[in-house]
A and B are shown apart, each in its own frame.
Chain A
Amino acid sequence: MHGPGGGRRAGRALLVGLVLLTLVVLVVDLARPELLAPVRRAAATVLAPVQEAVTGWRDDESARVRRERDELAARVAALEARLEDEEEQARLRATASWAEHPLLPARVIGFTAPGAPVGGATVTLDVGSDDGVREDLTVVSAEGLVGRVTRVAPASSDVLLLGEPGVVVAVRVGPDGHLGSVRAEPSTGAVEEVRLRLTLLGRAEVRPGHEVVTLGSPDGTPYAARVPLGTVTEVDPPGVRLETTGTVTPHVDPGTLDHVAVVIAEGP
């Protein structure tokens, strides 16, 4: 039995020990992230099925309430929901006709927590290495480019979204296919929607309304070719800069992601 003082001392020693352990992990993760990848994978293996179950429950719950209210109306609603799902999948396949690669349908089962100190543009999908997902594969939705896979667990995978600082995508712009790159603007202001910075190679005739698609790589990773990415919304006035710059509004709203697909490229 601890006395009150002894218990407090033991608690403090435990706290100090755990904080030191956390600091060690933090430094190791900054220096050598691959050393801690098994920890993340283990957590994902355990927790993703729970997340998936809870997400499914959220859908079933509304259906269950409807059934309680009116058995027949519930059945209609369920059928309509399935039809909508299939329409979305079909639209996805139609949009993605640019790609000869097979598409793996997936659902978003987790978003970065609102309290994570490094606010992330990352989501978790309900497919993983068991389904053939690898790192760096492209993720698309019916609207266009979503992002690329950064971490894979057996039954789940994490996707780095367009709009995360540091994500740069090579693109073609407009009907002439001018080459350029798109990166996220640093979110220091109170800008709500994601806006992306477009930088073209040299001067080029680009106007607001022009479509932006991915340039892609030969093996389809990290980004498959010709995925719709967004629309040019502003072109900066030509100053002393040597290249044309502007702003792109992405097609995909990361806040409402649900049905997506992983482009299964055949790898390098």
Chain B
Amino acid sequence: MTRVPGAAWRLLAVLVAALLTGLLPAGWPGRPDLVVLVVAAAGVARGPGTGALTGLAAGWLVDLVPPGGSPLGAAALVYLAAGALAGFLRRYATWSPLLPLLAVLAAAGAVQTVRVLAAAAGAGAATPTGALWTLALTLVAALPLLPLLLGVERALDRRGWS
């Protein structure tokens, strides 16, 4: 019984997601938020505590991977909330097999809402249209990636490693 492999896996997953996300540019109206996908998967598989911790680590990476975010720590708190939100939705997991997807939508929606509100308040540049594109593309990316992430979480759980 150790939790190290689970934590290491989530850290690796958010690191890869944070590095890949910065590399998806070029003319698209929006980009998928792969980081929130990993955070929501951890939350929905393990509950609000793990979701929040994964979100905190993921947000720190979003803040620190160049060009990073400003102020330092803001993304950490926002992703923490997103991970905890996905974790709270876990108790309704028996209601529908689509719930993990819904949790991704809720978590990504929370992140994008903060972004658009910040832009409306004069901090940063973000449009509602861009946020909606990011939401849609994140859901598209979730279709293949979410079952994979949840499968890894289940495998870790079976071995008592999560």
Which residues of A are at the interface with B, using a C-beta cutoff of 8 A?
1, 7-8, 11-12, 14-15, 18-19, 22-23, 25-26, 29-30, 33, 36, 39-40, 43-44, 47-48, 50-51, 54-55, 58, 108-124, 151, 153, 156, 158-159, 163-165, 184, 186-192, 194, 253, 255-258
Name which residue of chain B comes closest to A43, CB basis: B64
Tell which of A1, A22, A43, A47 touches B77, judged by Cβ atoms closer than 8 Å: A22
Which residues of B are at the interface with A, using a C-beta cutoff of 8 A?
1, 3, 18-33, 35-36, 49-50, 52-53, 56, 60, 62-80, 108, 111-112, 114-116, 118-120, 122-130, 134
- Bound-state CA distance A186–B32 (Å) is 24
What is the predominant secondary structure among interface residues of chain A facing chain B?
Answer: mixed
Number of A-B residue pairs with CB-CB distance less than 8 Å in the complex they form? 204
Q: Is the CB of A256 within 8 A of B69?
A: no
What is the predominant secondary structure among interface residues of chain B facing chain A?
Answer: helix
Q: Is the CB of B115 within 8 A of A116?
A: yes
Name which residue of chain A comes closest to B69, CB basis: A116
Closest chain-A Cβ to B126's Cβ sits at a distance in Å of 3
A-B pairs, 3 with minimum CB distance: A119-B126, A26-B73, A118-B124
- Bound-state CA distance A109–B25 (Å) is 10
- Bound-state CA distance A39–B127 (Å) is 30
Tell which of B64, B70, B125 touches A163, judged by Cβ atoms closer than 8 Å: B125
Tell which of B28, B64, B70, B76 touches A120, judged by Cβ atoms closer than 8 Å: B70
Q: Is the CB of A19 within 8 A of B56?
A: yes
Q: Which of A15, A22, A184, A192 has its CB near the most chain B CB atoms (within 10 A)?
A: A22
Q: Is the CB of B72 within 8 A of A36?
A: yes
